[in-house]
Amino acid sequence: MSLTVAIDGPAAAGKGTVARAVAAHFGFAHLDTGLLYRAVGRRALDHMEPVEAAASLRPSDFSDIEALRAPEVSQAASRVAAMPEVRAALVDFQRAFARRQGGAVLDGRDIGTVICPEAEVKLFVTASDEVRANRRYRELAGTGHEVTLAGVAADLAERDRRDAARATAPLTAAKDAVLIDTSRMSIETAVQTAIDAVAAVHNARTRG
Ligand code: CDP
């Protein structure tokens, strides 16, 4: 059985938490596609040409995930993500992952719209600017990054603006996505809402 769950949304909306929980619940594999762009952004900061960086990602580029979460890498990721050739270099890997046997959850910005428009379940996870900034500030401060709330809010606003305005694969909800606004929802409720949406499709397929 292959079943693809596409989870998109703006920065720090809770996509990663929802994606990991859905994958664990159903025993699906999970790909955080933001890490691909973060790894390319990291290599670009190290003066590698971004398209070449995207075409030659290696496991060692992901050896320090925490470093990839640093705000300067977030900004670099969003800059390289606006380059069509960078996005094109990452498409095949993401599509192959999405179609693997046993089910897959991918989270990002363009999964339901460009990478997997045929995904069986599409979720768009969002939250207010204030809630997202507070959550990301707590995450980063809690893992030892030197950040301020104002700095984090500015980073999210700038990335959202760039991610939504770019010509190739802009951040937008697929027409058939289920919208989950987590502004006034506990993470448990957000996860349960996502699991219920996946279960409806999954149960029908495993039964039939
Ligand atoms: O965790 P957060 O939501 O802050 O960001 P992320 O998902 O790790 O993505 C980092 C950056 O990569 C985003 O700001 C986007 O510019 C880019 N990205 C993208 O363009 N397409 C994706 N499918 C995933 C990430």
Q: Is the CB of 38 under 6 A from ligand 1?
A: yes
CATH number, domain containing residue 55: 3.40.50.300
Q: Is residue 208 part of a domain?
A: no
Name the band, by pLDDT with cuts 50, 70 and 90, for residue 140: very high
Its domain, for residue 155, covers 4-199
Q: How far apart are alpha carbons 3 and 98 in whole angstroms?
A: 8
Pocket probe for ligand 1: among 31, 159, 161, 168, the residue whose CB has the most ligand atoms within 8 Å is 159
Q: Map residue 206 onto helix, strand or coil.
A: helix
Counting every residue, how long is the chain? Answer: 208
What's the 204 CA to ligand 1 centre distance in angstroms?
32
Q: Check residue 131 and give its pLDDT.
A: 96
Q: Is residue 156 part of a domain?
A: yes
Q: Is the CB of 159 under 6 A from ligand 1?
A: yes
Instruction: Provide the domain count of the chain.
Output: 1
Q: How many CB atoms lie within 10 A of CB 160?
A: 19
Q: Which atom of ligand 1 is nearest the CA belonging to 12?
A: 3
What pLDDT digit, counting tens, does each position of 75-121 carry? 999 999 999 999 999 999 999 999 999 999 999 999 999 999 999 99
Q: Is residue 207 part of a domain?
A: no
Q: Check residue 157 and give its pLDDT.
A: 96
Q: How many CB atoms lie within 10 A of CB 14?
A: 25
Q: Is residue 104 part of a domain?
A: yes
* Backbone region of residue 58 per phi and psi (left: phi > 0; alpha: psi in -120 to 50; beta: other values): beta
Q: Is residue 108 part of a domain?
A: yes
Please name the residue whose Cα sits nearest to atom 6 of ligand 1.
Answer: 34
